């Protein structure tokens, strides 16, 4: 499959505005190159480095940019059209903010190009001394140590398990999952959370994602781990807008919801959680920046959840809550 790399050139001030618009377009993963961050780093007199690479000094002079990757299919092309529409309207708004050139550049990549850029950095690693997450192209030398081996090939759907948010989520799944429960994975991406739950003893998992490429990759990763049949079902769609999809997923039938997105989207979807969960069911939510932690806690409590556990890794937070 081919991919379109979309680069939007702006300023430090423009990054937050554009990133917010991308989130509204259900584009949740972006690479941000912010000249302001490098400028702040280089001017910070509290840092006493003996040496840093001179290439970093040059980064303060770059043109700030947001890059996103869209599948070369109908869904991806529609998202690209909406990006162009948004940038065109932004150019017409005459805001009293320097947004830079707002230039949009595109480049076509294929799966092999993408793989060659990042596969070298993805090596097997353990989570909570229970699961070893192993890329499909790597060998794991000691499978006799009692750990569960989870094979993953995330393709362009991200979700390798290396990020703090995914680790936090898997650690909570390991801690709270009971054998033969049903799990709903909202925003399933590469399927890593569902597959982890099934390998740990869940009876069935249902994954949902708005990206058709993620749905395909999640199914492929399930097969990599010998998960087949009706133990893992993946749906394409948005549970906040699609009543027919909610009906397919089923009501009051899940013991656990796993969701690893961002705080704003978690809160936007949260009104559906009590509908899907059994009484006493758990939500394990990750992808939350620490400054939004209390907002998510307040949101969950307003919906009848009791906060069971809050965990943090660097600036990222996971919240485990129980439906009363």
Q: Residue 25 maps to which CATH number?
A: 3.30.70
Residues 181 and 91 placed together within one structural domain of the fold: no
155 pLDDT more than 70: no
Return the pLDDT at 39: 46
Closest Cα partner for 262 from 226, 286, 283? 286
Question: Looking at residues 222-246, what average pLDDT do you find?
Answer: 93
Q: Which residue segment(s) compose the domain that 88 sits in? A: 2-114
Q: 28 falls in which pLDDT band (50, 70, 90)?
A: low
Residues 182 and 316 placed together within one structural domain of the fold: yes
Residues 109 and 35 placed together within one structural domain of the fold: yes
Residues 171 and 281 placed together within one structural domain of the fold: yes
Return the pLDDT at 112: 64
Residues 180 and 271 placed together within one structural domain of the fold: yes
Q: How many domains does the chain have?
A: 2
Domain boundary among 114, 130, 154: 114
pLDDT in tens, 169-178: 999 999 999 9
Q: 160 falls in which pLDDT band (50, 70, 90)?
A: very low
According to DSSP, the residues that pair with 107 across neighbouring strands are 5
Question: Looking at residues 70-88, what average pLDDT do you find?
Answer: 90
What would the two tokens of residue 188 be? 């399933």
126 vs 184: CA distance, rounded Å: 23
20 pLDDT more than 50: yes
pLDDT in tens, 97-109: 788 889 999 988 8
149 pLDDT more than 60: yes
Question: Looking at residues 235-261, what average pLDDT do you find?
Answer: 95
Domain boundary among 72, 91, 114: 114
303 pLDDT more than 70: yes
284 vs 297: CA distance, rounded Å: 12
What would the two tokens of residue 281 be? 């069911």
Residues 220 and 96 placed together within one structural domain of the fold: no
Q: What is the mean pLDDT of the chain?
A: 83
- Residue 212 in contact with residue 153, Cβ under 8 Å? no
């Amino acid at each position: 499959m081919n991919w379109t790399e979309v680069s939007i050139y702006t300023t430090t001030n423009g990054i937050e505005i554009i990133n917010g618009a991308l989130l509204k377009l259900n584009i949740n993963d972006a690479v941000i190159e912010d000249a302001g961050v490098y400028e702040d780093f280089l001017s910070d007199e509290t840092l006493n480095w003996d040496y840093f690479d001179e290439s970093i000094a040059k980064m303060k002079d770059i043109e700030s940019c947001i890059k996103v990757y869209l599948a070369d299919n109908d869904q991806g092309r529609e998202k690209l059209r909406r990006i162009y529409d948004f940038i065109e309207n932004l150019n017409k708004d005459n805001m009293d903010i320097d947004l830079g050139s707002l230039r949009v550049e595109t480049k076509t990549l294929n799966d092999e190009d993408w793989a060659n850029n990042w596969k070298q950095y993805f090596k097997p690693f353990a989570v909570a001394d229970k699961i070893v997450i192993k890329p499909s192209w790597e060998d794991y030398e000691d499978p006799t140590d009692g750990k569960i081996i989870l094979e993953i090939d995330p393709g362009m759907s991200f979700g390798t398990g290396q990020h703090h948010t995914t680790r936090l989520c898997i650690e909570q799944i390991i801690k709270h999952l009971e054998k033969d429960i049903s799990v709903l994975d909202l925003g399933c991406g590469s399927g890593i959370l569902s597959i982890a739950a099934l390998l740990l003893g869940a009876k069935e998992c249902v994954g949902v994602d708005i990206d058709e490429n993620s749905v395909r990759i999640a199914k492929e990763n399930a097969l990599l781990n010998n998960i087949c049949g009706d133990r893992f079902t993946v749906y394409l769609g948005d549970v906040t807008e699609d009543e027919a999809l909610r009906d397919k997923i089923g009501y009051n039938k899940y013991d656990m919801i796993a969701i690893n997105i961002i705080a704003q989207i978690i809160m936007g979807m949260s009104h559906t959680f009590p509908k899907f969960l059994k009484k006493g069911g758990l939500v394990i939510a990750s992808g939350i920046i620490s400054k939004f932690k209390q907002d998510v806690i307040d949101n969950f409590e307003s919906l009848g959840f009791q906060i069971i556990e809050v965990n943090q890794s660097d600036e990222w937070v996971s919240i485990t809550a129980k439906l009363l």
